[in-house]
Structure formats: C-alpha cells, structure tokens
Structure 1
Amino acid sequence: MIGSMQLPLSMRLPDNASFENFVPGPNRAAVAAVSEPRGDVLLIGGPGSGKSHLLQAALRQWQARDRDVAYAPLDDVDGALLAAYVDADLLAVDELERLRPEHSLVLLRVLDTRRAAARITVIAARDRPANLDAIPPDLKTRLTQAEVYPLAPLDDAARQQLLIQRAQGRGLSLPPEVAHWLLTQLPRDSGSLIQVLDELDLASLQAQRRLTIPFVRQALRDVRPHST
C-alpha cells in the first residue's frame, strides 16, 4: 500500500495526477463519483480518455488524508501482490482488460472481501466487462455491482483548455491560437495531445523559443516528419 509499503518504481504515482489539473468536459459525474466514492466505481474509456489519471488522482487525494491506498495496474502486478492490497482503504485497479488467468480468482476474492468490509475499489477498463473476453463470467457478474461511468470524449473547447492548462503546469505559455491550431493538425484524443505537448516542451527548452505557430509547425516537422 502506498505510504505503508514500498512499491516498484513503475507503480508509483506520477506527480501530475490530480483532480485540479483534470479537465472534466462532459464527465463531471464520473469525476464526482471517483473523488468522493460511496461504493465501487468502474470507469470505462479508450486510450487517452483520462481514466488512469482519475484513478491516480483519487489515490493521491486519499493519501493526502493519511489513508492507506494501493494502485494495481494489472499489466504490472502479479496475483500475490494484488492479494496483498486487500486491506487498503482505497484500491485502484487499472487496465482491467489486461486481466491474466492468475488474477481472476484473486481479484474476485479481493473484491468480495473489500465489499464485505465496506472498503472502496475504483476500477478502470477500456470497455465494459461484458465485452472483455479476458474477464470470466463470475467476475463479470461481480463487477455489475459497481457504479459504471463511461468517459465521453472532450469537445474542442475542453481540449483547448486541457492543452493550455497542461502547458501552464510545465511552465509553458501556450497561446489560445496555437492550441487551436494544434487541434486542427493532430489526433484529438487527450493522450496524443499530451504527448505532443511533451515534445513541444522539450523543443522549446532546447531552442529557447516561445510557442508560436511557425515554431510549433517546424518543431513538429522535426520530430514528426509526416505530420502537419
């Protein structure tokens, strides 16, 4: 559990995962459910939808309240480690679609034990459990007891807000016209936009240049020859 046992480096929480820097757009109900969960919560969303960010923000918030928390991305934990998290005040299970056979029975027992003890589990998956071949029927049935929140894509105004806000968090000034131009040139999922912002942050630092449309266009050509 984070705060009471040492986690592998790959499973430590990133410093930038918070509710304050998450742009909810049409997903305010999902944000509210994860920030103050009354029971188990299941977030559904594709890559870059922000579901992992929300799980990590919830963990960080509970951790700040001196509660024991545990983060279990199923691509990184084995069954024994997952079982060790059963008593965490808040458990976040990420990447449910990556469930392996060794996880199935362990996760079912963990969820049942936690529910009986009124402990909260928040879960993220790319699709509803009913549509995931990796989830066995008994676990699918158990997961129907969670509140389910599909994450809807952001509209362009929210995407622009996301870019500007994340740039500010890096100490970058991203003018609205540059953010708008990026939205006309790039894939619009949040994950892709944040990746491009990382690239522009490095390019701006190396060149000691402000983020203008001409500079951004050239920087993207340098790192992505087939874009823009």
Structure 2
Amino acid sequence: MSRQLLLEITPTQSPSLDNTVVGENAAAIDAAKGLSRGRALYLWGPPGCGRTHLLHAMIKDKMADFVDTRTCSDEIMALATLPTDKPGAEIVAVDDIQEMTAEQQAAVFALYNRWRELSATSQAFSLVVTGDRAPMMMSLREDLRTRLGWDLVFRLEPLSDAEKREAIVAYALRCGLPLAAEVLDWMLTHYSRDIRQLFALVDALDRYSLSKHRTITVPLVRQMLTDKEFLQS
C-alpha cells in the first residue's frame, strides 16, 4: 500500500529532450527533436519505455495541446474541428491511444484528418501519438489504426539497468542530491522498473531526508516506504 501511494507522486523536474537518456532510442529522439509542423509521429513500446516522458519532453515550452484518457471525446473533437480563423497549437500530443474509448478514438480519427488537411498550410501542426504496440497490432478501429502509420513510426526500447542508473544519478544531481552506490543498487533491484516512478522516489527521498535530518541510506529508504504519515502527506 505504501509503495502504491508513493508511485502516485509526479516527478518535480519537467521532462525535456535535453535530459532524456537516449539508450537505444537515438533515432526516435532525433525524430522527436526534428519534428516540424505538418509531420506526425507514432511512438510505441512496452510499459516503462518512456513514451509519456518523451511526449511531455516534446511539448515543453511549446504551444501544445495534450490529450490522454482523461480528456473527454468532446474536447478532442473540438481540437479536430477548430475554426480555421482561430490559431491552433504548434503540436498536439495524444498519450496511450490503446486505452481510449470508442468515442475518444473517433475524435482522434477526426484529429488525424484535420492534421492531414492542414499539413501543407500555414496552420499546420505536428501530431504525436503514443501506444503500447505497433500500429497494425493495435486493438483500435481500423481507420484509426491505419492512420497511426501514416508518417513516422518508432518503437521505444526500455532503458537497460545501466542506463536507468545513469538517468537516476543525473536526475538526483540536478536536485543537489548525490546517491550512494548501495542506494542506487537497492532502487534498481527492489523498486519499480518505470523510470518516472524511480524519479518520483528520488524526489520523495529528498523531502524525507530533509525532514529527518538524515543522510540517504538503504535503511532510510525502507523506513520512508513504511512511513504512512509521510506517504499520505
């Protein structure tokens, strides 16, 4: 229960393309960095591969619309039917397409049509969508599944343990928080494999160690994960 509560914490540092660990995803990240208006990008891979991280990194500091399963279909359809005399976003990001309802899928289908219609005009925008499988393996309406492969498609590979370690060290140092090797080993062995959840753990450890006036050690990590008062605060 305590671990589950901790995983709900959002990392405090905003994802950016500059602080994204590349690993085996150099081509995908290069495509993300170079994506221009009028282009579309579909990113897919297993849970924990960094789809959402990369999506948020791409829209940072841009005029963007972000869509996920919490966005109602009417809101998505409003983006797809925006009057041409109104300025739209530079980039529209759609996360976890595989979890969307039939109504949301229909709205994203309309959004793809709008993207193509405007792709060669001054109102062109870039469209980025994430999912857990390759386009033709998705359990979606057929016309939407086809559209996922209309432009650029990249599979994201999960980071190796060494790459996760590198990412955690860099994230912690940006917080001014050096972590001992044994703490890093424990995190990678006993905690979540998802890099964002590992970042959230670093943030929580930073706050907890300050509140206890103690150096971060493995016993302190274990203590924090059983401290219900802290986790529920």
Shared fold per TM-score greater than 0.5: yes
Using the alignment, how far apart are the partners of 2:73 and 2:226 within structure 1? 44
1:144 aligns with 2:149: yes
1:113 aligns with 2:114: yes
Contact 1:160 1:176 in 2 (8 A): no
Closer/same/farther in 2, CA of residues 15 and 164 from structure 1, 3 Å limit: closer
Offset from partner CA, 1:140-163 (integer Å, 9 cap, x none): 111121311111111122111111
Contact 1:48 1:192 in 2 (8 A): no
1:125 aligns with 2:138: no
AA of the residue aligned to 2:30:
A
1:162 aligns with 2:156: no
Q: TM-score with structure 1 length normalisation?
A: 0.78
Partner of 1:84: 78
Matches within 5 A, 1:128-207: 128-133=134-139, 135-207=140-212
Contact 1:49 1:191 in 2 (8 A): no
Aligned length, in residue pairs: 203
The gaps in structure 1 that reach 5 residues or longer are: 1-13, 224-228
Q: TM-score with structure 2 length normalisation?
A: 0.77
- Shift of the alpha carbon at 1:97? 1.1
Give the % identical residues: 31
Using the alignment, how far apart are the partners of 2:225 and 2:167 within structure 1? 19
Using the alignment, how far apart are the partners of 1:77 and 1:46 within structure 2? 22
The gaps in structure 2 that reach 5 residues or longer are: 1-11, 81-87, 120-124, 229-233
Matches within 5 A, 1:217-228: 217-220=222-225
Partner of 1:94: 95
Contact 1:41 1:122 in 2 (8 A): yes
Q: Secondary structure at the match of 1:121?
A: strand
Partner of 2:22: 24
Q: Secondary structure at the match of 1:85?
A: helix
- Shift of the alpha carbon at 1:182? 2.5
- Shift of the alpha carbon at 1:15? 5.5
Closer/same/farther in 2, CA of residues 200 and 106 from structure 1, 3 Å limit: same
Which one is further off, 39-48 or 212-221?
A: 212-221
CA RMSD of aligned residues (A): 2.3
AA of the residue aligned to 2:138:
L
1:70 aligns with 2:73: no
Closer/same/farther in 2, CA of residues 209 and 78 from structure 1, 3 Å limit: same
Contact 2:43 2:155 in 1 (8 A): yes
Q: Larger RCO: Structure 1 or Structure 2 (Cα < 8 Å, ≥ 6 residues apart)?
A: 2
Closer/same/farther in 2, CA of residues 77 and 184 from structure 1, 3 Å limit: closer
1:210 aligns with 2:204: no
